[in-house]
Amino acid sequence: MKQIKIGTCIPGNKADIFLENMKDKGFETFSINFHMELEGTDLEKLAEKANRILENSDAKVSTIGYYCNPIQYPEHRKNLEYVIANAPKFGATCVSTFAGAYEGKPVDASFDEFGKVFRELADMAEEKGVKLGIENCLMDGSWLSATCNIGFHPDAWEVMFREVPNENFGLEWEPTHQMVQLIDPVAQLRKWCKKIVHIHGKDATIDRSGIKTNGIFGKSPFVWHRLPGFGDTNWTDVISILRQNGYEDDICIEGYHDPVYSGEWEMTGQLHSLQYLKWCRGGEFAANPWEK
């Protein structure tokens, strides 16, 4: 079994700067991410820069993320197709995105169009030799009033994977987006692990005592997004379950959300998460001496 690598997410519009400054920090992979817009980025040129920067590094670009609404907006779908077509030029094996939605309508209203759009996108990704993953992000929506991503809840996943049965199509999963729904991420992971194609390394801290007295709709927050190592999730359990189910890809730390380790403390927090997740996976691989 291959080692699960630990990487980090970086912004697409500054990818070359981030790669140059982070390639020697110990991150083993990078996910280059865009949100809604590609901001005029020429992906072929960016791929050339990225490959040149990482030429003498052990790190690699594993994922290109373009989080958008390809159901409602044709230009988003066109951009997503562009990302899929160019992902192999980075050496990336995964493209991650949102499932889209008819904004403001119930999740169910988007299922038919989701199937039509993503069957074609999954086929295109398969031709390019990459996996296509839906992030399990809630994006402030609900079942009765979706925003840009119907893929936040397992009830939707049941339908999504019937609509798009391709083996290269799955989830980009992280604990946080389930914890904000008060779902136990470890229990969920045991059920859905086989459908996971990429992992975001982000955690959460839940104020369970506050929930008992104030619920979740008051003025005080009941949950905070955290870097791995500072939240409630047992990442040794997460990685063990991933390995037991044959997952051999990476976990990319998603920073810039932690209320404590942010700003000037961002890289301190990310490097702690990097070492913590490497520890949770059992450290570095060591061959059995009796098998040499």
| pLDDT beyond 90 at 140 | no
Would residue 291 count as lying in a domain? Answer: no
Q: Is the pLDDT of residue 166 over 80?
A: yes
Residue 88, domain extent: 5-284
- Residue 146 inside a domain? The answer is yes
Q: What does the pLDDT average to over 69-91?
A: 98
Number of domains in the chain: 1
What whole-number distance in Å separates Cα of residue 122 and Cα of residue 198? Answer: 15
pLDDT of residue 139: 81
Question: Region 235-262: what's the mean pLDDT?
Answer: 96
pLDDT digits (tens, 9 = 90+) for 172-223: 999 999 999 999 999 999 999 999 999 999 999 999 999 999 999 899 899 9
6-31 pLDDT, tens digit each: 999 999 999 999 999 999 999 999 99
The model's confidence at residue 291, banded by pLDDT at 50, 70 and 90, is confident
pLDDT at 292 over 80: no
Question: CA dist 13 to 18, 25, 34, 42, 84, Å?
Answer: 10, 20, 7, 10, 17
Q: Which two tokens stand for residue 186?
A: 């470890």
Please indicate, yes or no, if residue 181 is contained in any of the structural domains: yes
CATH number of the domain that 252 lies in? 3.20.20.150
Q: How confident is the model at residue 66 (pLDDT cuts 50, 70, 90)?
A: very high
pLDDT higher than threshold 80 for residue 71: yes
pLDDT value at residue 1: 83
- Kindly state whether residue 89 falls inside one of the protein's structural domains: yes
CB within 8 Å of 283: residues ≥ 6 apart: none
* 242-251: average pLDDT: 96
Neighbour count for residue 233 (Cβ, 10 Å): 24
In a domain, 290, yes or no: no
| 195 lies in some domain | yes
Q: What is the pTM of this model?
A: 0.95
- Is the pLDDT at 106 greater than 80? The verdict is yes
Please determine, for residue 239, whether its predicted confidence score (pLDDT) is greater than 90.
Answer: yes
In-domain check, residue 10: yes
